[in-house]
């Protein structure tokens, strides 16, 4: 494992920590005052700082340090996390995320942004914030910042001076603290050593110690690697409580630690033994010990998994496997608050497994087919065994797919930042409410949904929600709400974006569409059709092109991105009440439930999700229209009939519709088309094989698959086929609309 790989792990962990940070801050914002939430937030920043220190990412360390210091004030109840404070914290989380990104991908965060926030954070920590930020605990000595790795990077650590503690820190003033320290097993497992922590503590002043050995079991039943000893320590020092705590800074999560100012009459349960001042005997550390210099230890140990790996790389004492195991184990510890046991697996490995399972499915289908062909009565043992195999294969496939499934939470969290930023920019008050964040969907879908969703959120903030004044005038809450929700519905994921803004101004949309030659001036369109015009290429209703929602290439790009994922998007809007965008996406891009059909001797697969119904056309239902167009009459309405074989150039002339089967499909914009095929073979789940990767892009074809008989079947791109048919029939349609 080289340094780059270790760094990569660090950045992956940063992503997780940032997500923790944001979700914690949002919880606090919603009024959650659970100390564990505050701790989780603090821990997240603390871990990022520690890991960043190990890699010398000074800018990141410096900012995280200031952020952490302010969070510590919240943690110790010196600062009330009210809305104003949390606003600064949330913006700080955004900057921290940017700094992490810049550290990973290069580039830099605008210095003015960082500097401005540092000042705000410092002000909060200094108690200059809102009135709620008074310091309740007056008896405590000034808490000087613990570690100061920031000295040479432009940030000055802030000396805390809380009201009620007016006196300057006096060099000769001594405090006596009672420290209770009980390490957990993990403390040792992560390479920390209690004796070294006690050594560092003893260097702060005059120390007496009592070791509690009561927990130590009998020799034969003890676990040599467990932790049984605990200590009660009394230390007299000029240092502040925070400085005393700082000794345990990087082991804090792996021990029980209590530091408090000593009571006047300390009631000792254990006899205290003075610790000698001269600890020089402990200073000589043998060369072969895996024990970096204390400072390095501190920095490295913060992100413990990275630390293990760093040790492995630097000391070359641990094998890569051991480091990886440590990384996994410690990652689980770090994420203990959020998840159970997890392992980190390279995505390529999962994809390889998915491909192999895909091959297995195909192979099993081929085997089944040849057995069926040779065993017509279907009663042989082989046949029955094959059925079980088929079921097992399906289960394996589902399980493998589940590995790639991820909750949409990270994407949703990113959206809350966008809402914050854009709302600030346009001077609106907007609250983002998320629902169903734990709904899982394939990782590819998650990766690809972020961009269109971002665009839609920006649009909703910029155009959807009105200004506070307008809202108030309309009798609404000046704070607008955008709701983002996800749920599973019939094998797909449904993502809804609902705003309580003004809704679509249909008059303006229609006028714009007329101005842009998208519709004819006298076209008679339903409300739904007008709403859907916003998805038309080049459509923008913003009178001014803003930085926020782009240059009018917005919603059609969104629509295309969604469609490229095999999804659909629709909008419904109520004037004055807001709009709802609904996206329906497949759960996975690796398999597909399809209808296997025959067209001009070729086998094609039509995605089942696109098919509304199938029907056998009767001659009386077919109507010719123009030179080449035909319509089919279905329950008293007309639907264009599209000959798939002709569109794909499988045959020169249109086939006779009466001899085939019509598949009624729903295409973009909600319009329906009847796709004509020669025959239906059946429904089947197929493994999607990319045509682009294996051959080249073919218009009208989305991908390919391998069938049970070993033949390649093409998967129809329904929207492209419908689009092509519309290309031929677009003009007549428009004139139809114009004719009313």
Partner 1 sequence: MAARKAASGKLALAPVLDLNEASVLHGQLMSMRGKNIVIDASAVERAGVQCVQVLVAGAAAWQADNKSFLVEKASDAFETTMQLIGISEANLVAKEI
Footprint on this chain of partner 1 (rule: CB under 8 A) = 183, 188-189, 191, 193-195, 198-199, 202, 209-211, 213, 216-220, 222, 224-229, 231, 272-273, 275-276, 278-279, 281-282, 284-286, 288-289
| Residue 151 structure tokens | 């000295």
Name the residue nearer to partner 1 (CB basis): 216 or 712.
Answer: 216
Alpha-carbon span 307 to 52, nearest angstrom: 11
* CA angle at 519 for the pair 517 and 525, rounded to the nearest 5°: 160
Name the residue nearer to partner 1 (CB basis): 135 or 209.
Answer: 209
Q: How far is the CB of 581 from partner 1 (least distance, A)?
A: 56
| Residue 163 structure tokens | 């009201």
Go through the chain and tell me how many residues it has.
740
Burial of residue 629 (number of CB atoms within 10 Å: 0-12, 13-18, 19+): middle
| Residue 282 structure tokens | 């402990």
Q: How far is the CB of 246 from partner 1 (least distance, A)?
A: 19
| Residue 606 structure tokens | 């039509």
Q: How far is the CB of 318 from partner 1 (least distance, A)?
A: 11
Name the residue nearer to partner 1 (CB basis): 281 or 627.
Answer: 281
Please answer whether residues 519 and 737 qualify as being in contact, where contact means their C-beta atoms are separated by less than 8 angstroms: yes
Please answer whether residues 544 and 473 qualify as being in contact, where contact means their C-beta atoms are separated by less than 8 angstroms: no
Q: How far is the CB of 214 from partner 1 (least distance, A)?
A: 11
Name the residue nearer to partner 1 (CB basis): 226 or 261.
Answer: 226
Name the residue nearer to partner 1 (CB basis): 55 or 231.
Answer: 231
Sheet architecture: strand order including 255-261 = 255-261, 175-183, 230-237, 206-212, 273-274
Q: What is residue 237's three-state secondary structure?
A: strand
DSSP secondary structure code for residue 126 in this structure: T
Name the residue nearer to partner 1 (CB basis): 215 or 690.
Answer: 215
Alpha-carbon span 128 to 78, nearest angstrom: 12
Q: How far is the CB of 2 from partner 1 (least distance, A)?
A: 25
Q: How far is the CB of 283 from partner 1 (least distance, A)?
A: 9
Q: CB within 8 A of 676, min separation 6: which ones?
A: 617, 641, 642, 643, 644, 645, 655, 657, 660, 661, 662, 663
* CA angle at 453 for the pair 451 and 456, rounded to the nearest 5°: 115
Q: What is residue 410's three-state secondary structure?
A: helix
Q: How far is the CB of 285 from partner 1 (least distance, A)?
A: 6
Q: How far is the CB of 198 from partner 1 (least distance, A)?
A: 6
Nearest alpha carbon to residue 232 among 217, 246, 253, 214:
214
| Residue 42 structure tokens | 């603090």
Phi, psi of 633 (to 5 degrees): -95, 120
Name the residue nearer to partner 1 (CB basis): 10 or 231.
Answer: 231
| Residue 279 structure tokens | 């600890």
Name the residue nearer to partner 1 (CB basis): 123 or 211.
Answer: 211
DSSP letters of 514-573?
A: HHTTSS-TT----HHHHHHGGGSTT----SS--SSS-SS-HHHHHHHHHHHTT-EEEEEE
Alpha-carbon span 160 to 396, nearest angstrom: 58
First vs last Cα of the chain: how many Å apart? Answer: 70
Q: How far is the CB of 181 from partner 1 (least distance, A)?
A: 10
Q: What is residue 673's three-state secondary structure?
A: strand
| Residue 180 structure tokens | 């209770």
Name the residue nearer to partner 1 (CB basis): 304 or 439.
Answer: 304
Name the residue nearer to partner 1 (CB basis): 169 or 291.
Answer: 291
Q: How far is the CB of 176 from partner 1 (least distance, A)?
A: 17
Alpha-carbon span 448 to 158, nearest angstrom: 42
Alpha-carbon span 550 to 92, nearest angstrom: 26
What is the Rg, in whole angstroms, of the alpha carbon atoms belonging to the chain?
33
Q: How far is the CB of 296 from partner 1 (least distance, A)?
A: 17
Alpha-carbon span 132 to 33, nearest angstrom: 15
Name the residue nearer to partner 1 (CB basis): 283 or 692.
Answer: 283
Name the residue nearer to partner 1 (CB basis): 194 or 583.
Answer: 194
Q: How far is the CB of 54 from partner 1 (least distance, A)?
A: 21
Phi, psi of 717 (to 5 degrees): -90, 95
Beta bridge mates, 633: 638
Alpha-carbon span 242 to 157, nearest angstrom: 14
Alpha-carbon span 198 to 200, nearest angstrom: 5
Name the residue nearer to partner 1 (CB basis): 194 or 596.
Answer: 194
Please answer whether residues 687 and 705 qualify as being in contact, where contact means their C-beta atoms are separated by less than 8 angstroms: yes
Phi, psi of 135 (to 5 degrees): -90, 115
**Within its chain, how far is the Cα of 730 from the centroid?**
41
Name the residue nearer to partner 1 (CB basis): 170 or 214.
Answer: 214
Q: How far is the CB of 225 from partner 1 (least distance, A)?
A: 6
Q: How far is the CB of 273 from partner 1 (least distance, A)?
A: 5
Name the residue nearer to partner 1 (CB basis): 4 or 280.
Answer: 280
Name the residue nearer to partner 1 (CB basis): 103 or 227.
Answer: 227
């Amino acid at each position: 494992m080289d340094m780059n790989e270790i760094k990569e792990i660090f950045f992956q962990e940063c992503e997780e920590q940032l997500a923790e940070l944001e979700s914690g801050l949002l919880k606090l914002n919603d009024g959650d005052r659970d100390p564990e939430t505050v701790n989780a937030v603090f821990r997240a920043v603390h871990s990022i700082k520690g890991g960043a220190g190990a890699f010398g990412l000074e800018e990141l360390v410096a900012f995280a340090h200031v952020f952490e210091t302010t969070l510590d004030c919240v943690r110790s109840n010196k600062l009330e996390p009210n809305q104003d404070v949390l606003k600064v914290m949330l913006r700080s989380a955004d900057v921290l995320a940017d700094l992490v990104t810049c550290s990973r991908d290069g580039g830099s965060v605008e210095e003015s942004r960082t500097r401005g926030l540092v000042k705000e954070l410092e002000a909060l920590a200094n108690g200059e914030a809102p009135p709620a930020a008074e310091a309740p605990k007056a008896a405590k000595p000034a808490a000087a910042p613990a570690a100061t790795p920031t000295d040479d990077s432009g940030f000055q650590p802030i000396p805390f001076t809380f009201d009620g503690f007016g006196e300057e820190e006096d060099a000769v003033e001594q405090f006596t603290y009672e420290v209770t320290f009980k390490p957990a097993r993990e403390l040792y497992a992560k390479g920390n050593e209690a004796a070294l922590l006690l050594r560092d503590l003893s260097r702060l002043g005059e120390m007496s110690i009592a070791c509690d050995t009561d927990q130590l079991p009998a020799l034969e039943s003890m676990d040599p690697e467990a932790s049984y000893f605990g200590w009660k320590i009394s230390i007299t020092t000029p240092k502040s409580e925070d400085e005393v705590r700082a000794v345990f800074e990087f082991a804090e999560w792996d021990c029980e630690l209590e530091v408090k100012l000593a009571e006047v009459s300390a009631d000792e349960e254990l006899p205290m033994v003075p610790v000698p001042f001269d600890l020089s005997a402990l200073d000589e550390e043998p060369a072969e010990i895996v024990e970096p210099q204390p400072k390095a230890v501190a920095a490295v140990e913060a992100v413990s998994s990275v630390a293990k790996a760093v040790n492995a790389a630097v000391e070359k004492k641990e094998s890569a496997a051991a480091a990886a195991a440590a990384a996994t184990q410690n990652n689980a510890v770090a994420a203990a608050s959020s998840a159970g046991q997890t392992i980190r697996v390279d995505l390529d490995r999962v994809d390889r497994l998915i491909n192999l399972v895909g091959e297995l499915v195909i192979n099993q289908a081929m085997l089944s087919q040849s057995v069926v062909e040779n065993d017509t009565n279907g009663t042989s043992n082989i046949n029955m065994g094959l059925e079980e195999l088929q079921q097992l294969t399906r289960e394996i496939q589902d399980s493998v797919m589940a590995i790639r499934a991820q909750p949409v939470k990270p994407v949703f969290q990113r959206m809350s930042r966008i809402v914050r930023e854009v709302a600030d920019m346009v001077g609106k008050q907007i609250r983002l409410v998320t629902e169903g964040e734990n709904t899982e969907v394939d990782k590819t879908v998650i990766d690809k949904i972020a961009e269109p969703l971002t665009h839609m959120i920006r649009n909703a903030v910029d155009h959807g929600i009105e200004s506070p004044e307008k809202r108030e005038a309309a009798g609404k809450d000046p704070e607008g709400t955008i709701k983002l929700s996800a749920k599973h519905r019939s094998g797909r994921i449904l993502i809804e974006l609902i705003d309580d803004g003004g809704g679509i101004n249909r008059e303006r949309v229609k006028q714009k569409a007329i101005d842009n030659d998208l519709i004819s001036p006298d076209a008679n369109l339903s409300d739904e059709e007008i709403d859907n015009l916003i998805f038309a290429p080049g459509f923008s209703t913003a009178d001014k092109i803003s930085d926020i929602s782009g240059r009018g290439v917005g919603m059609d790009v969104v629509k295309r991105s969604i469609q490229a994922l095999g999804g659909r998007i629709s909008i419904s809007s109520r004037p004055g009440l807001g709009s709802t965008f609904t996206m329906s996406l497949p759960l996975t891009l690796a398999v597909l439930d399809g209808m296997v059909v025959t067209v001009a001797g070729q086998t094609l697969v039509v995605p089942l999700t696109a098919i509304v119904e199938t029907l056998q056309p009767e001659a009386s239902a077919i109507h010719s229209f123009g030179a080449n167009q035909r319509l089919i009459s279905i329950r008293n309405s007309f639907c264009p009939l599209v000959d798939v074989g002709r569109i794909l150039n499988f045959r020169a002339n249109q086939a006779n519709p009466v001899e085939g089967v019509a598949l009624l499909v729903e295409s973009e914009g909600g319009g329906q088309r009847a796709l004509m095929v020669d025959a239906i073979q059946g429904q089947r789940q197929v493994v999607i094989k990319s045509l682009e990767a294996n051959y080249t892009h073919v218009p009208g074809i989305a991908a390919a698959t391998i069938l049970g008989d070993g033949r390649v079947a093409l998967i129809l791109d329904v929207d492209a086929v419908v689009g092509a048919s519309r290309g031929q029939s677009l003009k007549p349609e428009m004139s139809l609309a114009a004719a009313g």
